[in-house]
Structure 1
Amino acid sequence: MLRSELPSSEYNPFYHTYLLALGDVDLIQELTRGKDELITLLEEIPESKLGYAYGEGKWTLAEVLLHIMDAERVFQYRALCFARNDQTPFPGFDQDEYVPHSNAASRTKASLVKEYSAIRESTLCLYNSFDKDVLKRVGVASGSRMSVRALGFIISGHQAHHVNIIRKRYL
């Protein structure tokens, strides 16, 4: 499924910037490419950079990486629920409340690579199990309609957004 096939009615406009950043990509190919890209980037980052923040009150590099993982887990869970026709509306999640409790300062690069790899592999397994009808199923998250396929592209676009910030401001 291509990003251009995703109607804007299937996601909150807040996520539009993330989706535009992807271009017209195939969902599974982009999830796979994004995994390879982030792992390569992580492997190039010196361990000493994990505690670096580019400004006062900004997240450290390790916190940004854990934020990417936390968001993917949240979006993946929503996709699973919507795929199974769970019509329970899901509240938003406050990323700023998650980060201080992430224990980022004690993480090693190896542990971050291992955890990220497991999360993305899980996302890929889940999305590879969906057929075209499942991808079109819709639920409600953060007060907006959201499709399973939109969540997959949002996972990719959210990561791409933060990878760009990492490259520009942390490295």
Structure 2
Amino acid sequence: MLVSDLSASEYAPFYHNYILSVGENDLITELGNGKDEFISFLENISKDKLSYAYAEGKWTLAELILHVIDAERVFQYRALRFGRNDKLALAGFDQDIYVPESNAGSRTKKTIIDEYNTVRESTLSLFRSFNDEALKRVGNASGSDMSTRAMGFIICGHQAHHLKIVRERYL
């Protein structure tokens, strides 16, 4: 399944730019390539950079990375619910509440990389378990209908979005 297989009705307009940033590989390849790229990127960042914020009131680099991890967990949960044909609408989440609770300032680069790797491997395992029917199922989160497969591409695009911000503003 490719991102070009999605229709705009499978995700909220808010996620359109995330979807556009995904390459034309199949979903599992995109998730795997994204994992390799992100880990390589993180391994090459100096540990001193983790506490850097590019402006007052902005997240530190460690907070931003942990936000990517937290959001992937939330998106993964949504995909699980949609893929298993759960029809209950899901509430949104407030990233600004999650970030201070991530304890980013007390984390090491290694623990952040390990956590990211674990979460992405779990995402890969989940999406490999879905058949075509499950991938096309639609659920509702944050007041918008979204397909299981769109959630996978949103995970890829959300990470790409933040990686771009890191390169532009943090390094």
Q: TM-score, normalised by structure 2?
A: 0.98
Q: Deviations along 1:8-37, whole A, 9 cap, x unmatched?
A: 101100000011011333111000000000
Structure 2 Cα separation of the partners of residues 22 and 156 of structure 1: 7
What is the identity, as a one-letter code, of the residue corresponding to 1:82?
F
Which residue in the other structure is 1:147 paired with? Answer: 147
Is 1:131 aligned to residue 131 of structure 2?
yes
- RMSD (Å) for aligned C-alpha atoms: 0.7
Structure 2 Cα separation of the partners of residues 168 and 34 of structure 1: 18
Structure 2 Cα separation of the partners of residues 131 and 85 of structure 1: 12
**1:97 to partner: Cα distance:** 1.0
Note the 1:18-29 alignment, pairs <5 A: 18-29=18-29
What is the number of equivalent residue pairs in this alignment?
171
**1:100 to partner: Cα distance:** 1.0
What is the identity, as a one-letter code, of the residue corresponding to 2:85?
N
What is the identity, as a one-letter code, of the residue corresponding to 1:126?
L
Q: Deviations along 1:75-126, whole A, 9 cap, x unmatched?
A: 0001001111111100111111111111000000000010000000000000
Structure 2 Cα separation of the partners of residues 157 and 34 of structure 1: 9
Q: Is the 8 A contact 2:23 2:30 kept in 1?
A: no
Structure 1: runs of 5 or more not aligned: none
Task: Provide the secondary structure at the position in 1 that maps to 2:139.
Answer: strand
Structure 2: runs of 5 or more not aligned: none
Q: TM-score, normalised by structure 1?
A: 0.98
Instruction: List, as ranges, runs of 4+ consecutive aligned residues in structure 1 with deviation greater than 4 Å.
Output: none
